[in-house]
Chain A
Amino acid sequence: MNTCEPSKVEDLRLWVQEMHKRRTAISREVQVRIPDLRLARGSLAVVLGVNGSGKSTLFDMLSLMLSPDRVDRFDLLDGDRPLNLRSISRQEGTAIRRRCFAYVLQNGGLLDFLTVGENIRFAARLSGKSAHQVQKVARRLEIEGILAMHPARVSGGQRRRAALARALVQEPQILLADEPTADLDPESTRIVIESFRDLTLKGSSVLMVTHDEALVRVHADARYRFVTKPAADGGLVSTLEPD
């Protein structure tokens, strides 16, 4: 049950309607459908689904890296201005990603040739944010000791927290997280979720893609799930439904 599905447009951060994408997965065609997805300001929304249900496809489309086959509404509400993202150029998408979005990927998403600290500072500068709070964020996420190390030399959990630090420093409007707690120990998971919460308290919205049902039950403000059914043409249809 979604506890915080906004009904007013001004409470929304992101609103997607009838976003469709056809993908091929393990020799079968899957049509991914998002009839209605609303992300409220300052909320943590979670998307659940089994492997291959379309979670990553949704992630890529929302981050403007993948074009949907069809979308009736794709609005990013930036303050009082709704930005229609249905038909934008590559350059416009780049500018919006830089300014409005931050990302935490399952494998971290850090650049191997920069140190952890350089990764975080680079993202801050790219977003036009100050790099002064890097130390503070690093301390909070307990990664101060690895700032001078390259990502290849730190653990998976440390990489995930470093990616989270990078996202926090960017102070995004929307944070997209793809399986951010996968393979993490409980302590690291706690730190990640607490950070998400802190971010939402500041007005940012978090959309997390995961299959960790226990995490969802406790922390999510809104829940969605991909439900997969056979299609008439022999393929599959995976539809995002409120959970």
Chain B
Amino acid sequence: MPEQRRNATPAGEDRLSPKALASLKAEAPRLHSDGHHALVLAWSDLRYEWILSLCMVLALGAVFSPLFILLGLREGIVGTMLERLQQDPLSRLVMPKYPLQAPINTSFSAALNERAEVTIQSSAPFLLLDVEGLADHINALPSSGDDPLLLAHGLIVPPGNRWVVISQRLAESTGKGPGDLLPVVLERSAPAQQRIPLGLPIIGVLPSSVSSEVQLWISTEMLRWLKEWRRGLPVPALGLGSAGSGLSPEYDGALTVLPRVPSEQDYRAMIAGRGGFSQMPQPIDDPGWDLPPGRQARLWLPVNSRIFDDGLSALRHRHLERGYESEVLPYLADFELRLEPQQEPANRRLVVLLREPEAPPGEGAGAHLPPVWVSTADSRLDPILSLVFASPGVGDIRIPARLVPMPALHAGIVAVPRALAGKMNAARRQGAIFDPTTGEFQPVSEGDRFFRAYASSIDAVPVLADWVRAQGEALGDPGLKAPVSREVEVRQVHTLSRHMLTLYILIAAVTGASGLLAIAANVYAGVQRKRRDLAYLQLLGLGRGTLLLVTTLKSLALVVGGLAAALCGYAVFASVSGPMFAGLGVTGGSLTRLDAPDALGLVGGILLAATMASVTAAATIARIDPAEYLRE
């Protein structure tokens, strides 16, 4: 029907005026709104064809259910994994793989603090402590008052450093809890065996979800004190004095020199179950000096990279037990030093001699100085010189010595008495200063060589780890090059989340398109089926807009019913599937999770799309000529 009647209007003749039309409308005092009529008609039609309506509701429910189930699965699986990571402070932790080669300086510390939410710097990643009544050493980790791990469990650290937090297993092993004193025992072996009790007040117990091991946490300051005391330094804060004797000799391995090399079977017997060494000894061709005729040398490298004098003796006894006579001497790995005044070659290798000759007494100013044996090829060196090597965190150490030529030494090799060599090796590994008056090396504080940095969120973990990694590359520090974190797990969860979202969108697109086509087809079919009724309604005085509203309301009512059916389907799925996976520990008992905002968002989106589909299909009402269908 044309909008306007196709007739010529003689000039001057009035059309139906808006006033007349408004007057017509005003004369109907009890006219219900057309919206109300539309609601009544829509509901009546649905009720009349209730079987068809029910079928459509169930069909839509079957189409929409997978959308809710998939959304619930994604939120449940990924959401639970993310929640676990977000709630566990250790998920945000980034730390070096090994202690740093150099102490942390101010600029590095400032840069790290800028990028991390909380940084805990310590002198070591851990310390092994003894607790009275327990046979094994206990792992002591550094912590602080702002440690998110402690704060997440409601633990408030008191002022000062005398406190300890213990693991659940340690609490069970000792029978101690908050308010009790943990009986820690401090022990060191140089210069003599010392055992000092130290009671630390327990301020809390961390659950087994944090650590299933026997473990404890102490302040970074306390850890530094205990570590330095073990190294021989005094700790006035704890009333503990220094060891007094300086560094003890330590070596990187042992050389055995023997006329008859044991068989492989004998070697295995010497190693198996004995501790100290785990690898077969290797032949060494050039110990730095001429081997005695008929002798062969073998190099033993210890498990923990250090061996002391008692270890050398024990190794000799192992040979004797198998019937082998062996001379055992310490070995220094790649110990290079300089001689001053500077001479070529610039660097020389330090070794220990098989048999230290009686060195002639020094003369004059060098009388009290220790001897340094050099090859006779280097005898042109100054008789008094300094041995120079670097001690970490301190710089070069200079040891005055007196030159003693030795034919058996190879060129570029120097040797000193083994005890001095051992102490020099110890000073090469840890910071120390040399006291020429006593000839001893005194340890110095090594500074912080470890940190535990908490990123601000799990999303910030990869960024922080990348920065630490970059610092490791720039500084050449292996501990920083491979930081320890849950970065991989975080990335995996995010990747899983992205993939699941992509899958969900694809499935939702296909499902949604199918559903919307079904809705539009249903509306279109309804319009065609009801064209006679639609013609009657127009005859009675309902406009096309109202008829569009009736048709759309009917469709939306079916969609709402379908959504309700879909939500019921989801509820059934959740109730059946949840217990099936709860015991597996995969999802923490929450296979699916559909929060109200997510559900409402999906419902709103479906309703919006359904409205558009319905209105589009219902617009075909405009193509119905009511006059044609009045008499159908």
Contacts and interface: CB of A to CB of B under 8 A. Distances in A.
Co-assembled chains A and B: yes
Interface of A: 56, 60, 63, 65-71, 78, 81, 83-92, 94-101, 103, 105-107, 109-114, 118, 122-123, 125-130, 150, 178
Contact of B7 (A68, A90, A126): A68
Contacts of B48: 112-114, 150
**The 6 residue pairs across chains A and B that have the minimum distance between CB atoms:** A98-B541, A128-B28, A113-B48, A113-B45, A97-B541, A60-B627
Contacts of B23: 81
Nearest to B19: A81
B20 A86 contact: no
B30 A130 contact: yes
Contacts of A70: 7-8
Nearest to A105: B630
B32 A125 contact: yes
Interface stretch (B91-99, B222-230, B493-501, B532-540): B532-540
Contacts, number: 134
25 contacts: A65-B630, A67-B5, A67-B6, A69-B6, A71-B5, A81-B23, A84-B13, A86-B5, A87-B5, A87-B15, A89-B4, A90-B1, A97-B540, A97-B541, A98-B28, A98-B540, A98-B541, A99-B25, A99-B27, A100-B24, A101-B541, A111-B536, A113-B45, A122-B540, A129-B30
Contacts of B568: none
A94 B631 contact: no
Given A88-B15, A96-B24, A67 B1 contact: yes
A63 B21 contact: no
B628 to A, nearest CB: 9
A241 B517 CA distance: 54
Contacts of A91: 543
B4 A99 contact: no
Contacts of A78: 24
A65 B627 contact: yes
Contact of A111 (B5, B25, B49, B533): B533
A60 B7 contact: no
A87 B9 contact: yes
Nearest to A63: B539
Contact of B5 (A68, A118, A126, A178): A68
Interface of B: 1-9, 13-16, 20-21, 23-25, 27-32, 37, 40-41, 44-45, 47-49, 533, 536-544, 626-627, 630-631
The SS class assigned to the A binding surface is mixed
Nearest to A150: B48
A128 B27 contact: yes
A97 B631 contact: no
B541 A94 contact: yes
Contacts of B8: 70
A111 B538 CA distance: 12
Contact of B627 (A66, A123, A129): A66
Given A56-B631, A89-B3, A95 B21 contact: yes
Contacts of A150: 48
A239 B320 CA distance: 141
A118 B28 CA distance: 20
Contacts of B537: 111
B21 A94 contact: no
B541 A86 contact: no
Contact of A114 (B15, B20, B24, B44): B44
A129 B40 CA distance: 17
B49 A103 contact: no
B17 to A, nearest CB: 9
A109 B20 CA distance: 29
A125 B37 contact: yes
Nearest to B32: A125
Given A103-B539, A127-B541, A128-B31, A92 B1 contact: no
Contacts of B2: 67
A103 B41 CA distance: 19
B16 A85 contact: yes
